[in-house]
Amino acid sequence: MRLISVFTLCALLIAAVSAGPLQTIVLDVQNMTCQLCPLTVRKALQKVPGVAEVSVDFAHKTATVAFDPDKADTSALVKATTNAGYPSTLHP
């Protein structure tokens, strides 16, 4: 089992090194009214191909997303949150 984990880790590291530089954006997210809302927003964003990392701040109603710009763009991220019931816009 441990041997499989090492091979999996190596494959992930190779993929990360060969990927292009990530782009990070901040989205202003509407309709987050409870502590569970950020979980839904995070899961919706993580489903977008090319998304590497998501952090949602309930207090500031924002989502910070690191993604591969060759695989995703801002409109795909906004669409993902909107489809989940949380319209968003690019933070100025």
For the four alpha carbons of 89, 76, 16 and 10, in that order, the dihedral sign comes to: positive
Q: What is the pLDDT of residue 17?
A: 52
Q: What is the pTM of this model?
A: 0.77
Distances (CA, A) of 81 to 9, 20, 30, 76, 91: 30, 24, 9, 9, 14
What the chain holds in terms of domains, given with CATH numbers, is: 20-90 (3.30.70.100)
**Angle between helices 37-46 and 74-83 in degrees, nearest 10:** 140
For 2-55, the pLDDT digits (tens) are: 445 444 444 445 455 545 799 999 999 999 999 999 999 999 999 999 999 999
Structure tokens at 5: 């984990």
Q: What is the pLDDT of residue 19?
A: 58
88-90, strands of its sheet edge to edge: 51-57, 62-67, 23-29, 88-90
Partners of residue 90 on adjacent β-strands: 27
